Structure 1
Amino acid sequence: MIDGVSQVAPGEPPEIVGPLARPVAVVDAGMRCTELDLLFRGDPGLPCVAVVYLDGGLGLISRDRFGQLMSGPFGYGRALWEKTPVGRTADPAPTIVDQGALIVDVCELVGRRDRVRRYDDVLVRREEGRLARVSAARLYEALADLMAQQAVRDPLSGLANRTRFLNRLTVACREEGPSIAVVFVDLDRMKQVNDSLGHNVGDRLIASAAGRLAAVAGEGDVVARLGGDEFAVLTRVAGGSRSDLSAVALGERFRQAIATPDPELPAEAHRVASVGVAVGAPGVDADTLLREADLAMYRAKEAGGGAVRVALDVGAGAERRAGAGDGVRDAIERGELRLFYQPIFGVNDGRVWFVEALVRWQHPRHGLLTPGQFLADARRAQHLPELDRWVLERACADLAAWDAALDERAPRCVNVNLTVETLRGAGLAQWVLAALRRTGLAPDRLRVELPESADLAQLQAAVEQLRELRENGVGIVLDDMGAGSATLRHLSVLPVTGVKIDRSFVAGMLDNRNDDAVVKLLGDLGRSVGVDVTAEGIEADDQLERLRQLRVPYAQGYHLGMPAPADHLTALLRTGRPRGVARVPMGRLDRPVEVGRHRL
């Protein structure tokens, strides 16, 4: 098993002084020194006594200092002091703290005392005025233990911190044993919680999520908060022919832990997380394993959140991913890229009104690669604008071909996603319109989808280019409305002709009144301002029926149609039959592994 800090352990050092305090003997200031001498002699383990004065003040007499006093010069101390009240020999101003005082603060007080009193005990006030004491040495030991724990523990969540997690991951990757798994958990829409409910509620949500993750972790697992709303779990999983299902089940366990309600949090504090799982054999590079888990999590987030995605055999396929993004330009030249299309149906008539273009790479050695396997590297290589141009022109050509083959049964429009990098570039409108002219497709048959990752400032910088496209007939679609960065403010700033309701609301609308209200609001808003509204992530007939009741006109999701190559989709378009629950066959190239709602 993987050992290490997973969460706050019962035996960890406390942060306050109360648990360190021990009972202290209390004597009256009028007691004679000879009586106190007998008390110390009778109890060799008694380190000090507290002294109570008539006015209620407190003093302290340490065993060592009192012993020196009673010995005195030339051994006559007892004779000189035996009848003296102990109140005259006590320290009249000892350090006194409440039991809830922080250890670090008390150590600072002790450090400021004069040299003679530096190592005297500290008196601690308990409930109802009771006194206790703690030695300076014990305080400094506790402070050292606390600092050691804080070096490897996240203060907000109580979990292991990023440094501890990376250290344990590095060690685990060098050990023999079962396959190593990293589960990467990211809370969806955390910014919304902070903005609408305040950062205090956001902090409580993070602490609550940490507790729920730790509660379902296995013995010896390392559960950590990597920063912000990101968590990670280091564990081991069994291999075998169904390791894909084991990995998804592992991720699902932690996704469901986040979905478990916490009655201590406001109902509006959401409980949705995107989970990525990466599995590698012993000897896998630790950085690679963590990166693959992170990328898997982003694939789950791109699927709408509240989902699990996995990366298997990490390390064995490292050569497949190395430089993948850098080769996108060559892949375009060699004709290795493919477009898959996911249909968007009319909720009432079952017709395929639109299709969304999704890129794949048919690698000559490594098979079909999904965007999650090469887009990050393509971004670093600054090849995304070139990729966007290829996708847009290919999609326009495919729709023109459908027009020629199918006439009125062809989709009304094709949706093409643009990246932030393309929006920031110059001449966006010119090259889009040029691509339409080259393919012979009318501008009103194209809809560009604005990237979910773009914030309002980035979109505003491109607003003139978007307006030029809109003036020429090109549609503008805002993705993931209601979540991520897409807000109602975008509708008043951008020339939007369509919106997509984020799938997290669609997933919850049958059970959550707030989610249902958001779907209804966006449907009503679309009708009032003349904007097409599409609900994403349809996975059940009941959801489709509810959209009919709410008069949301369009729907998209795996339940209706999986992404498929153009020739597969052509067969569906030829039939022209309404859609119910049957799925569009998608061929072997892109068939997902399904476990519940989660697909690879």
Structure 2
Amino acid sequence: MPQVTPVSPPETVGPLARQVAVVDATMRCSELDMSFRTEPGLPCVAVLYLDGGIGLISRDRFFQLMSGPFGYGRALWEKTPVGRTADPAPMIVDEEALVIDVCEQLGRRDRVRRYDDVLVRRPGGRLARVSAARLYEALADLMAHRAVRDPLSGLVNRSHFLNRLAAACRDTHQPGVAVVFVDLDRMKQVNDTLGHNVGDRLIISAAHRLVNAARDGDLVARLGGDEFAVLGRIAGGSRPDLSAVALGERFRLAIATADPELPAGAHSVASVGVAVGAAGTDAETLLSEADMAMYRAKQSGGDTVRIVLDVGAQLDPHISDGILTAIDRGELRLFYQPIMGLTDGRVHSVEALVRWQHPRHGLLTPDRFLPDVHRARLLPALDRWVLDRACADLAEWDFTLGAQAPRYVNVNLTVETLVGAGLAGQVLASTDRASLAPARLRVELPESADLAQLQDVTRQLRELRNNGVGIVLDDMGAGSATLRHLSVLPVTGVKIDRSFVAGMLANRNDHAVIKLLADLGRSTGLDVTAEGVESDEQLDRLRHLHVPFAQGYLLGMPAPADHLTTLLRTGRPRGVARVAADVVTDRVIGSGSPVSRT
């Protein structure tokens, strides 16, 4: 059966109110006494006075009056108008009054009236009633709901999801705990171009679609922003990889299916990561692995699924613990992808991308070994090697190629290196060891680092900037990378995320974002690079928008340093395809994946 997003308990008293009997203040008490006796479900009546006032008579309090202390109450009161026995100042609220406010008002009443019914004013002057007990119960439901639910989407929140995930991981009788991490690829574009109200509608729509795609027993959560997660199980079988992919595809397709209720341009696809844990897996680790798999999906262009299996199982010592040995044995390789100037068709910079020439598994791309290196907490060691090797390679190009050498080399830094101690000293030590001017190096800040983390290392980044090192914000427009970063960080350049380039010819919002960033770069002096260029049409449009630099398969695939040396020596790399009107060449043929280390 398809699930539905849980309905939040009512926040106003209107849905809680029920019909109330209304009597005239001149009615005799004997008549009301008969009504209460013959209608045991009648809890109270509202009383209308001639001057328009409203009173309230509760069943229990009226019976106490009619009984009297010695049993003669009915004889004393039967001919008395009910208006004289009513509470002349009952609590009356509008139906839009908040439950929490009404409960607070009840709590301030004197003790004997604190549990009286509350009258509710409907449109047109009609009256209804709600008991104090029902109001307090509704308040408890509302508080319990808010404790575990995201207020916008109605899904469970991050805290509750982690609690449920931890419980599932502790249940060793049911191995195969799976976490599906879903991140919307176009959330920022929707917010920037259509406004945050439409962005909220997209979040709500995505939540409904994910819930309706969930299986019985799956738990769907909103972790925050445009990030969702699903807790499920992978049944045992001979191909857990296929089961994990199928699970991820289930939710990717749910997001990829357009919602006709959303306005034009508010649609988004999603990057999906699936992590499957072994029995006893740490919950935070499993969620982190799913997050990393999602990020690899986003790096590959989005709207796709990436998986990681056997999280928490024994790490492969040939990979996780072998990275230090690989450095010592010289098994690591740097491949370089050119960053081209769109006005002159020449190599402006090269981005360093690490590969591992593994003795058993052959040439490994980053997606094959970075998760294990991350779990082994060896990413800073890998970063240090990449920095040293990239600076040394550029210095070598200077020696062999002179003016034909690239002006800069770009090196990606991981979050672990950024937040570690001595960032600036480490980077400058690499340039010093290679006898390379710091101004020839550009470090790329990972999109996975949030603004708070980057602000914590602003002093270190400024020290690098003061020494000439370029600071580049990678994947601008994706995930947490926003214009706010440009105002608080000492960046010298930005790289436009490949998802915008992929959609710029068909989607005017993507086109507008690229134009905005290009114009911003010209006005502020930032170097702007478009990533993921794969067609002549995209290249022509980027040149028309005055984007100064571009990178992508069309311009050059990642290639080993010696291969690139041959191409650079010609002055016009074969990887350039019609960058300028007089440049027509074919592509660089290189091995390895374009996925970057970060």
Give the secondary structure class of the aligned counterpart of 1:39.
Answer: helix
What per-residue deviation string (whole Å, max 9, x for no partner) do you get for residues 425-449 of structure 1?
A: 4546752442333xxx7878x4423
Q: Distance in 1 between matches of 2:274 and 2:554?
A: 24
1:577 maps to which of 558, 565, 574: 574
1:138 maps to which of 134, 137, 149: 134
What per-residue deviation string (whole Å, max 9, x for no partner) do you get for residues 471-501 of structure 1?
A: xxxx6655445665575995999594x6533
What does residue 597 of structure 1 align with? none
Q: Is the 8 A contact 1:357 1:415 kept in 2?
A: yes
Q: What amino acid does structure 1 have at the position aligned with 2:182?
A: V
Distance 1:328 1:145, change over 3 A: same
Distance 1:132 1:338, change over 3 A: same
Give the secondary structure class of the aligned counterpart of 1:319.
Answer: coil
* Aligned-residue offset at 1:284: 4.8
What does residue 89 of structure 1 align with? 85
Q: Distance in 1 between matches of 2:215 and 2:554?
A: 34
What does residue 595 of structure 1 align with? none
Q: Is the 8 A contact 1:296 1:372 kept in 2?
A: no
Distance 1:163 1:388, change over 3 A: closer
Q: Is the 8 A contact 1:423 1:462 kept in 2?
A: no
TM normalised by structure 1 equals: 0.77
Q: Distance in 1 between matches of 2:147 and 2:551?
A: 48
1:83-482 matched pairs, under 5 angstroms: 83-173=79-169, 174=171, 179-186=176-183, 206-207=203-204, 209-211=206-208, 213-214=210-211, 216-218=213-215, 220-236=217-233, 240=239, 242-243=242-243, 245-246=245-246, 249-250=249-250, 252-253=252-253, 256=256, 263=262, 274-280=271-277, 284-300=281-297, 303=299, 306=302, 308=304, 310-315=306-311, 317-320=313-316, 324=320, 331-345=326-340, 354-361=349-356, 368=364, 370=367, 372-373=370-371, 376=374, 384=380, 387-399=382-394, 413-418=408-413, 420-421=418-419, 425-427=423-425, 431-437=429-435, 446-452=440-446, 453=449, 455=454, 458-459=457-458, 461-469=460-468, 477=472, 479-480=474-475
Distance 1:195 1:495, change over 3 A: closer
Distance 1:345 1:246, change over 3 A: farther
What per-residue deviation string (whole Å, max 9, x for no partner) do you get for residues 319-375 of structure 1?
A: 249994x87555533444332333334658876664311224566788845474256
Tell me if 1:535 matches 2:530. yes
* Aligned-residue offset at 1:263: 4.5
What does residue 55 of structure 1 align with? 51
* Aligned-residue offset at 1:29: 0.6
What does residue 29 of structure 2 align with? 33
* Aligned-residue offset at 1:196: 10
Q: What amino acid does structure 2 have at the position aligned with 1:435?
A: R
Q: Is the 8 A contact 2:289 2:371 kept in 1?
A: no
Q: Distance in 1 between matches of 2:324 and 2:172?
A: 39
Q: Distance in 1 between matches of 2:150 and 2:487?
A: 40
What does residue 596 of structure 1 align with? none
What does residue 581 of structure 2 align with? none
1:504-523 matched pairs, under 5 angstroms: 504-520=499-515, 522-523=517-518
* Aligned-residue offset at 1:392: 2.7
Distance 1:459 1:27, change over 3 A: closer
When structure 1 is superposed on structure 2, of 90-99 and 447-456 the one drifting more is 447-456
* Aligned-residue offset at 1:53: 0.9
What does residue 75 of structure 1 align with? 71
Q: Distance in 1 between matches of 2:81 and 2:94?
A: 28
Q: Distance in 2 between matches of 1:342 and 1:244?
A: 32
Distance 1:67 1:478, change over 3 A: closer
Q: Is the 8 A contact 1:284 1:314 kept in 2?
A: no
* Aligned-residue offset at 1:159: 1.1
* Aligned-residue offset at 1:28: 0.5
Q: Is there any run of 5+ residues in structure 1 with no aligned partner, and where?
A: 593-599
* Aligned-residue offset at 1:23: 1.3
Name the % identity.
63
Q: What amino acid does structure 1 have at the position aligned with 2:294?
A: M
* Aligned-residue offset at 1:31: 0.6
Give the secondary structure class of the aligned counterpart of 1:31.
Answer: coil
TM normalised by structure 2 equals: 0.77
Q: Distance in 2 between matches of 1:152 and 1:391?
A: 44
Q: Is the 8 A contact 2:218 2:231 kept in 1?
A: yes
Number of aligned residue pairs: give it. Answer: 573
Q: Distance in 2 between matches of 1:566 and 1:540?
A: 25
Distance 1:72 1:450, change over 3 A: same
Distance 1:582 1:82, change over 3 A: farther
Q: Is the 8 A contact 1:162 1:225 kept in 2?
A: yes
Tell me if 1:22 matches 2:18. yes
Q: Is the 8 A contact 2:252 2:269 kept in 1?
A: no
Give the secondary structure class of the aligned counterpart of 1:104.
Answer: helix
Across the aligned residues of Structure 1 and Structure 2, the Cα RMSD in angstroms comes to: 4.8
What per-residue deviation string (whole Å, max 9, x for no partner) do you get for residues 152-197 of structure 1?
A: 2223332112233223334544387795432223457978998999
